[in-house]
Amino acid sequence: MVGATIGAAETQAIPGRPEIVIEVLSGRADLVTGGDALVEIKLPPGADTETLKIDVDGRDVSSAIARRADGRFYGRIDGLRNGHNHLRAYVQGARGAVLKLSNHPLGGPVFAGTQVEPWLCQNAEYGLESPSDVDCNAPVIIAFFYKSSVTGLFLPYDPASPPPALAIATATTDQGHQTPYIVRRERGTMTRGIYDIAVLYHPRQEWQPWASQRAWNHKALFKFEGNSRPGHQQGGGPSAINRGGPANVLDDQALSRGFVVASSSLMRNGTNANNKVAAEAVMMLREHVIERYGEIRYTIGSGCSGGAVQQHMIAANYPGLLNGIQPMCSFPDMWSTMTEVADCDLIARYFDQNPTLWLDVTQRAAVTGHVAASTCKAWQAVRFARTLFDPAVGCTYDETVRPDWVYDSTSNPLGTRCTLQDYQKAVFGADPATGFARRPWDNVGVQYGLAALREGRISAEQFVDLNEKVGGFDIDFVPAQQRTQADLTALTIAYRAGEVVSGQGLNSIPIMDLRGTDNATLHEDVFTYVMRARLQAANGSAGNQVAWTSPNPVLPDPAIPPASFDLMDRWLSAIEADTSGDPLEQKVLRHKPLDAVDSCWSAGQAGKCGTSLPYYSTTRIAAGGPLTNDILKCRLKALQPSDYPVAFTATQWSRLQRAFPSGACDWTKPGVGQQPPAGPWLTFAGTVGGRPLGPPPKSHPIR
């Protein structure tokens, strides 16, 4: 057999001879994980299949590949070492081929960059064995459930002592297959998180990735969860709300139709507020499903709040992992949302300290652009800014106990910093002066309440007083009189790395944006239309996004998610059936279902929205910014009295100039560092800011 080194002579083309092609079915050849890959060998017509030989760096793996029922030659190659592996295939009558497989550890990292430390394994809380290493790896555990024909609930199923057949409901899949409603749930660890995979399963039948059980329709639902926290633990807290593990994969609608349902604790933004790590978890989970269960036709995403953030960011930055997304109670991304979160913290604190000037709460709402002053108070109450910007808070769910490894400016200045930017240090890099992660948050030049002033809803004195006193906070989240300056390198990285989702790349997937009405608290309806404005600006159309809204608080009308899932399945199935060579974004619009239209739902029925469910604004839009809400740091212009519809007194104008010594925001210009993303498919392995991986590796002919 040929050795590990590939020479020029080996890959030199031989004219006139047909070629073998090697393809990795489970993912990219340069992003293999866990030591295995599902691989197809494409043989040219006339090749003598009996002579097919396959090796990995001289190790014969021919027995792993066979002609399957569909006539294709493929199988799972195991035993790959970490690093580069050269897979070769030879057959009489054709040129051989070689493909370099780059394998990464099951515990990661792959492309997300250096992992945060320390990391607390919580295997026992999820029924797993104690970890065998620092990456929390442990043997997979399998559990079975059945749907009761009496209660409709999922109950534990013991294959050795099953319940009576009549006690088990029957599932009829979307392919028309009827089967006892028994579910197999696999639980394990990968990239240091905990994952769950559930699917209809007959305990007495075999399952191979090339011969899956008939009940699986080869579609997948990946579930994301919300909240936001720079967590340093595998799962989350002990409470039901903050459990922090994978989403519930016992999803009746999806399972009964024949879908695989999967999730990871790292797909919960409240456990892992790093979208690059979440994307890595999705990629590895998808890879594992393909290697163990079979090829996936398409994958649908679903999730609320922080789960919507992850869907938007993964779909935009790592296309192909999700084929359609259902962001609920949505925000576009983390860092542009943080402008609202941090602004609200500053403004609410200012109102608390200056109540007599703001007795009219409608004026407070006008400043922020919200329907009510309660919106910013809600952000302040849940302490999101503190959780994500205070270096001593966000690492663990229990904020009453501070581990000795956590940063303290006095007692432990070299400790682990628990901020959002430090959690994403692999993305943003470190400030060489402090060693702390670079931070892209900024409010220099932001004229809070500008729209309210122009509309005559607040006075000149209120406007001046607010902007001269609102201030900012330092790198340790200590309130400061001065506005907060972003790190300029961090700003550039935020845009080029897709930390601010521009809309570019999202036009190739269907988006069902689902929400209840939450204008008076956190999940403001405007963020649906912020994303729409970005899609329009980036792509010239937002036709692939459909908004379904309802008057329910926060979560959409209960009829909306199942109806959306049904529509998304039909939409993706139609796209899949289109075998033309047209760009995917054209297929998305061409096959958009007739009922994929903006709708307002009430009592389970869809209708036209009209003006019944309006949306409002954000702090930055109310300060004069664009609806895209995508400028982290504005460019500045000199203050001009003619820019305001009111006449300031000489004293007020002098105070306003002191509040904005370098000028105020010029929203007609792009933000500082604002640029198109450098991706898709950036890797942060060994590099800050991201480097494009380029097209997936292909096999090369050899002699």
Residue-level pLDDT at 611: 75
pLDDT surpasses 90 at 11: no
Distance CA 414, CA 408 (A): 8
The whole-number pLDDT of residue 3 equals 36
pLDDT tens-place string over residues 151-196: 999 999 999 999 999 999 999 999 999 999 999 999 999 999 999 9
Residue 7 has pLDDT above 50, yes or no: no
Would you tell me how many other CB atoms lie within 10 Å of the CB of residue 415? Answer: 18
What pTM was estimated for this model as a whole?
0.95
Banded model confidence at residue 244, pLDDT cuts 50, 70, 90:
low
Instruction: State the residue for tokens 């400016």.
Output: 409
Given a cut of 80, is residue 223 above it in pLDDT? yes
Q: Which of 626, 639, 603, 640 is nearest to 674 (CA)?
A: 626
The yes-or-no verdict on residue 575 having pLDDT over 70 is yes
Task: Summarize pLDDT for 85-114 with one digit per residue, the tens.
Answer: 999 999 998 899 999 999 999 999 999 999
Q: Dihedral angle at the C-alpha atoms of 264, 267, 269, 270, nearest 10 degrees?
A: -10
Residue with tokens 């998304």: 568
pLDDT at 246: 85
Residue 485 pLDDT greater than 50, yes or no? yes
Residues 6+ apart with CB under 8 A from 613: 517, 525, 549, 550, 551, 600
Across-strand partners of 299? 220
Report whether 526 contacts 626 (CB < 8 A): no
Specify the pLDDT at position 251. Answer: 97
pLDDT for 243: 56
| Residue, of 68 and 401, whose pLDDT is higher | 68
Average the pLDDT over 553-568 and give the result. Answer: 95
pLDDT at 295 over 50: yes
Find residue 220's DSSP bridge partners: 260, 299
Q: Is the pLDDT of residue 4 over 70?
A: no
What token pair was written down for 8?
A: 């020029």
Residue 235 confidence class, pLDDT cut points 50, 70, 90:
confident
Q: Return the pLDDT at 383.
A: 93
Asked if the model's pLDDT at residue 489 lies above 50, the reply is yes
Query: What pLDDT does residue 94 have?
Result: 87
Q: Is residue 239 over pLDDT 70?
A: no
In this prediction, residue 10 carries a pLDDT of 46
* Average pLDDT value for residue range 362-386: 96
Q: Is 238 a residue whose pLDDT tops 60?
A: no
The DSSP code sequence of 547-607 is EEEESSSSSPPTTHHHHHHHHHHHHHHHHHH--SSS-HHHHHHHT--TT-S-EEEETTEEE
**What value, to the nearest 5°, has the Cα angle with vertex 307 and ends 301 and 313?**
75
Residue 502: is its pLDDT beyond 90?
yes
Q: What is the spatial distance between Cα 495 and Cα 682, in angstroms, rounded to a whole number?
A: 12
- Per-residue confidence band for 8, with pLDDT thresholds at 50, 70 and 90: very low
Indicate the pLDDT class of residue 434, thresholds 50, 70 and 90. Answer: very high
**Mean pLDDT, to the nearest integer, of 487-491?**
98
Q: What does the mean pLDDT of the chain come to?
A: 95
* pLDDT over 70 at 14, yes or no: no
Q: What is the CATH T-level fold of the domain 21-104, as seen in this structure?
A: Immunoglobulin-like (2.60.40)
| Residue burial 9-39, b: 16+ Cβ < 10 Å; e: rest | ebeeeeeeeebbbbbbbbbbbbbbbbbbbbb
The pLDDT value recorded for residue 397 is 81
| pLDDT-wise least confident of 64-78, 280-294, 400-414, 650-664 | 400-414
The string of DSSP codes covering 456-474 is TSS-HHHHHHHHHH--EE-
Q: Tell me, what's the pLDDT at 16?
A: 60
As given in the structure block, the two tokens for residue 6 are 């590939």
* Residue boundaries of the structural domains of the chain: 21-104, 123-273, 336-497+619-665, 499-607
